[in-house]
Amino acid sequence: MLKKFLIIGLGSIGERHLKNLLYLEEKNIAVLRTTSRKPRTIDEDSYITFTSEEEAFNWNPNVVLITNPTYLHIPIALKAASNNIHLFIDIPLSNSLEGTEQLNQYIQENKLISLMGYNLRFHPCLQYIHKLLLEETIGKVISVQAECASYLPNWHPWEDYRGGYSADKSMGGGALLAAGVHELDYFRWMFGSFKSIYATTGDNKILKLKNGAEESITLSIEFQNNIIGELHCDLIQQPYSRWCKIIGEKGTIYWNFLENKVMLYHTNNSRWEIASDFSSMDYNETYINQLIHLRTCLENGNQSINSIDQGIENLEAALAAHKSAETKKIVML
C-alpha cells in the first residue's frame, strides 16, 4: 500500500510527528499549514508544503495526521473521513462533542482506520503495569491515584504560552484537556469505563489563562467496577510531576514518569522492589511506536488499539469533569 501522509498543522506536536515519519523513512509526506512558521529542526526540502486545504486534499493523501489546535480537529477530520482518508488525531479529540458522532459514523461506514494520539498507550512502563493488572499481581484493585502537573510557560519556552491554545478554554485549553486527558485515557484502558465524576477547579490568576481555562483541576472518579480514582492536573507546579499509584488487596504499584521505573510492593514479602526499569528509554520512542502501530494498521486493515470511539469517551469524561466543577455536583456517565 502506497502511504501518503498529510500533516495538518505544524506546531510542536506536528513537527515531532513529521520528524518521526522521516526517521521511519516515509517518503510521501506533505504538510498543510496556514501560518509562516517554519519547523525548528527539519529541512523544508524533506516534505511538500501546502497552504490551502484544496491543494492539500487534491494531493490525494490516504492518511491525515490532525495536529492543529484542538478546537479545529473535527471540521478537518470530517472532511478527511468523508473523502475516505484514514485518521490520526492529536489529543484531545475536540473541546466539544459537536460533530464527533458524525465523524464516528463516517469512519464506521467507510471502514477507516482511526488512531487517537494518546502516546502513553505505547509507554513501556504503562504497558508493563497493564500486564501486571491482567495477571492480578496485586489482587483486586481498590483505588488509583495519579498526578499530571507542570508549568505551562515551560512547555514551549521559545514562544509566549498565552498565545497558544493550551491557555485558552475556547480553543481546547486548560489543565485537563491540554494535559490530563492522557491520564483519563490510561485510566479507562486499565480499569474500565467511568460511572461518575466529581471535580473541583482552581484559578488563582497566576497564569492569566483565557476564557475560563482552569489552572488546576482535581477529579474524584467512580468506575463501573467500583474502583475509586483520583486525578490531579495543573499548569502551575514546578518541578514537573507525573506519577500513578495503584492500590490492590495484595499490594501496590507505583510509577514515576520522570524515573521510568515500575515499583511493586507485595504483601508476600512486605517490601518495595523494582519490578521493571525503563530509565534509559527515550520518551520519543512512544511516539515512534505509535506511528509504527498506525502503519501496521494501514497495511493489514485492522482497527487501531485506540480508535475514535475511545477518543469520544475520553472527551465525554473531560467535559463531565468541567460540568461537575461548574455545577459543584457529581456527573453521571
Question: What's the CATH number of domain 120-282+314-332, 1.10.510.10, 3.30.420.40, 3.20.20.80, 3.30.360.10?
Answer: 3.30.360.10
Domain with CATH 3.40.50.720 in the chain: 5-119+288-306
Q: What is the mean pLDDT of residues 305-311?
A: 98
> Which residues are paired to 31 by β-bridges?
7, 49
- Mean pLDDT of all residues belonging to the chain: 96
Q: Over 80: is that where the pLDDT of 123 sits?
A: yes
Residue 224: left (phi > 0), alpha (psi -120 to 50), or beta? alpha
CATH code linked to domain 5-119+288-306: 3.40.50.720
* pLDDT for residue 158: 86
Domain with CATH 3.30.360.10 in the chain: 120-282+314-332
CA distance 58 to 65: 16
Comparing CA positions, the residue from 66, 53, 59 lying closest to residue 94 is: 66
Q: How is residue 33 written as a grid cell?
A: 499549514
Distances (CA, A) of 180 to 125, 185, 272: 18, 9, 28
Count the Cβ atoms, other than its own, within 10 Å of residue 224.
12
**What does 65-77 look like in DSSP terms, one character per residue?**
EE-S-GGGHHHHH
Asked if 190 and 134 touch (Cβ cutoff 8 Å), the reply is no
Q: Which helix (H) or strand (E) holds 5?
A: strand 5-8
Q: What is the mean pLDDT of residues 192-197?
A: 99
Global pTM reads 0.96
Confidence of residue 40 (pLDDT cuts 50, 70, 90): confident
* pLDDT for residue 129: 99
Count the Cβ atoms, other than its own, within 10 Å of residue 212.
14
Task: Tell which wins on pLDDT, 278 or 156.
Answer: 278
Confidence of residue 15 (pLDDT cuts 50, 70, 90): very high
Confidence of residue 289 (pLDDT cuts 50, 70, 90): very high
Confidence of residue 154 (pLDDT cuts 50, 70, 90): very high
CA distance 272 to 265: 4
